[in-house]
Structure 1
Amino acid sequence: MATRSRYAANGNARRRLREAVRSMGLPCAICGRPIDYSLPSGDPWSYELDEVVPVSRGGSELDPSNVQPTHRICNERKGNRMAGDQGARGLAVRRSRDW
């Protein structure tokens, strides 16, 4: 079953949020490593905008406080799990003060 695109209903707002987070140049919120923001979107190490509380679990895809920059591969591995979920080891959000 196909999932609804994040851009279907609120495309312009989502693109603006994605670019605002990109402009900060932050590292991956999951693994803490730098993100090469110039990589094409299909690359495993490219930038993706991730929801801290997944949309499938009631989170907002447009709330700036609910999004974080991640690598595509890290976001895929996370799925719709959240920090604190059983088996969600390594999903804690890492902030610059942590490394």
Structure 2
Amino acid sequence: MKAKRLDRDGSHRKQFERNKKRIYATQTVCGICGKPVDFSYKYPHPLSPCIDHIIPINKGGHPSDLDNLQLAHWTCNRQKSDKLLNTKKAIKEQVISNRNLPLTIDWFNYKSNSK
């Protein structure tokens, strides 16, 4: 049985949603790659905005604390996954392995027909 995520369907859900709205209202730059986030993109677009847990929940990070949340692009957050990053340059400096493959599409220059 999969563990229950407290920020999705547990006791931290309300506080997480409040903090998510706060971050969306005050932040404009991805905390992982450092590039601007365009709020006109909606999921499942790779550059759509999402909330990243700086210290992943499964590594002991708090599920709803504002100090543990940051704005991120969906694709940056997926690439980071449950890793701990020390600097914003860490993604570019990681060793390439079968778990951490480079992106084959430059999503920052991707033009969608649906927008």
Task: Give the TM-score category using the shorter length.
Answer: 0.7 to 0.9
- Distance in 2 (alpha carbons) for counterparts of 1:81 and 1:36: 24
Q: Percent identity?
A: 25
2:17 alignment partner in structure 1: 15
2:73 alignment partner in structure 1: 71
2:16 maps to amino acid? R
Q: Where does 1:1-99 land on structure 2 (aligned, <5 Å)?
A: 2=2, 4-5=4-5, 6-9=7-10, 10-84=12-86, 89-90=90-91
2:76 maps to amino acid? C
Judging changes above 3 Å, is the alpha-carbon distance between structure 1 residues 39 and 2 closer, same or farther for their aligned structure 2 residues? farther
Structure 2 stretches lacking a partner, 5+ long: 93-115
- Distance in 1 (alpha carbons) for counterparts of 2:4 and 2:49: 20
Structure 1 stretches lacking a partner, 5+ long: 92-99
Between Structure 1 and Structure 2, whose CA radius of gyration is higher?
2
Instruction: Provide TM-score, normalisation by structure 1.
Output: 0.77
Given that residues 16 and 65 in structure 2 are in contact (C-alpha distance below 8 angstroms), is that contact kept between their aligned partners in structure 1? no
- Measured on the aligned residues, the alpha-carbon RMSD in Å equals 2.0
Q: How many residues align?
A: 88
2:8 maps to amino acid? Y
Runs of 4+ off more than 3 Å: 1-5
- Distance in 2 (alpha carbons) for counterparts of 1:67 and 1:23: 13
